[in-house]
Structure 1
Amino acid sequence: MITSTTDFGTDCAPEDQEDIDPMTLVGMWTRTAALTAPPLMSLATVGLDGYPRVRHVLLSESDATAVYFHTDSRSQKAAQIAQAPRGACALAWPAAGRQLVMHGDLRVAEPEQALRSYRERSRYLQILAWRNDSDLAHRPPAERRRAWARFDAENDELDPPPTWVGYALIPREIILWRGDPDGPSRRIAFRCNDSGAWNTEVLPG
């Protein structure tokens, strides 16, 4: 089954909240213990009809420039990204009082990043990437399960299917929200300017 984590990573010191590189902080917030399932991230794209579309995907990883997710190249989201390569995402940790939202530009991830992400996925998700197609979707439930079990039994080590594709969301704006049970919440917006530097603005919580 598809699993994700609600575990929060770590935060910076309060005095560094406005000056830290926001992508460093994104990595800190989303990085959890080894072998922990990846965080669940809401992802919004622009539909082919111009209306927004939103769904949840697993956050594969992040680095100094982007956050990454993976999908099937035949999916609706892939077609939407090809037409309008812009998106937004959000992650929330209610128990920790943290929320992260960002929007920016989307591009196809490098093949080696996509391969690494596939190999880090659970066995279930690796099989799903191969068997999640229209043909299987239209079969009766029992037949779908038999086909799944047969594929699992016949394949030991799996490489990603040709339809496996990764995307990088390169943020233009990142907003970090921190709750406070003893006082007002706080939001800090980081906006990337034309030179690639981050401008910081403290917003009402």
Structure 2
Amino acid sequence: MDYIGHGLDESELAPSPYLQARAWIDEAIERAKSSNVLAEPTAISVATVDASGQPNVRTVLMRFFDERGPGFVTNLESAKSEEIRVNPRVAAALTWPWLYRAIRFRGRAEPLDREEVHAYFDHRPYGARLSAWASQQSRPASGRAELERRWAEAQDRFPDTGDPEDVPVPDFWGGWRVRCDEVEFWAGRANRLHDRIVFTRVGEGSLADPDAWQVSRRQP
């Protein structure tokens, strides 16, 4: 199957990686509203390296994206969090096959501010807030029954009264944001002559600061 994407030309490129990524993310979200193909347009794959140098990758939901970079929430005792504390260098990717687009982020992971974590947690559905307490993320489980039992215990501990503060944020639950040094925009084209436009950090500014980034093109 050949690719029929529009591609990405330098003449169409936004002046900063934030504006370019924001435009693509917003379009993917809008397309997802009318298509089952893009059911999770903010699903982002996050790659880390463990203490032995073995790479690890998993897909989570990108819950934050602003001028500081993409962010996600997780158990702070999970495998990904433990690996980030040992080596904060990470890579992440948003991929939309049916739009023939992808964005790659490379940089260092930093903890999300607790204020951001609390604000996000309060907007999660009641059951999802309970699951943050019930799941010992990445740890071995004897079976499904163990997870269901822990969830029921959390439900008994934090009954639902309709108040977002019914379920407090666990101390062991938070998130990470990728402070990017490189952002690559991939756009598929016919004959596999894809476009790869890369923003590389050359200054201290945010993703929205054009002067902090240098633009180049890579071979597909």
TM normalised by structure 2 equals 0.75
Out of 180, 192, 196, the residue aligned to residue 171 of structure 1 is 180
Cα distance in 1, alignment partners of residues 122 and 41 from structure 2: 13
The CA deviation at 1:51 is 2.0
Cα distance in 2, alignment partners of residues 146 and 106 from structure 1: 33
CA contact (8 A) 1:26 1:62 kept: no
Residue 82 (structure 1) aligns with:
85
Cα distance in 1, alignment partners of residues 21 and 218 from structure 2: 18
- Is the aligned partner of 1:198 residue 2:210? no
Q: How many aligned positions are there?
A: 193
Judging changes above 3 Å, is the alpha-carbon distance between structure 1 residues 21 and 51 closer, same or farther for their aligned structure 2 residues? same
CA contact (8 A) 1:109 1:167 kept: yes
Residue 67 (structure 1) aligns with:
70
SS of residue in 2 equivalent to 1:155:
coil
Residue 16 (structure 1) aligns with:
12
Residue 25 (structure 1) aligns with:
20
In structure 1, what residue type is equivalent to 2:172?
T
Note the residue ranges of structure 1 that are not aligned, 5 or more in a row. 1-10
TM normalised by structure 1 equals 0.80
The CA deviation at 1:185 is 2.0
SS of residue in 1 equivalent to 2:98:
helix
Alignment of 1:111-122 (within 5 A): 111-122=114-125
The CA deviation at 1:143 is 4.8
Which whole-Å deviations, capped at 9, do the CAs of 1:56-113 have from their partners, x for residues lacking one?
1111111112111111111122121112111000111001110111110111111111
In structure 1, what residue type is equivalent to 2:219?
P
Higher relative contact order (CA 8 A, sep 6+): 2
Cα distance in 2, alignment partners of residues 180 and 76 from structure 1: 37
Percent identity of equivalent pairs: 26
- Is the aligned partner of 1:142 residue 2:138? no
Output the aligned Cα RMSD. 2.9
SS of residue in 2 equivalent to 1:200:
strand
CA contact (8 A) 2:44 2:94 kept: yes
Q: Which runs of 4+ in 1 moved over 4 A?
A: 11-14, 33-38
SS of residue in 1 equivalent to 2:218:
strand
Cα distance in 2, alignment partners of residues 13 and 188 from structure 1: 8
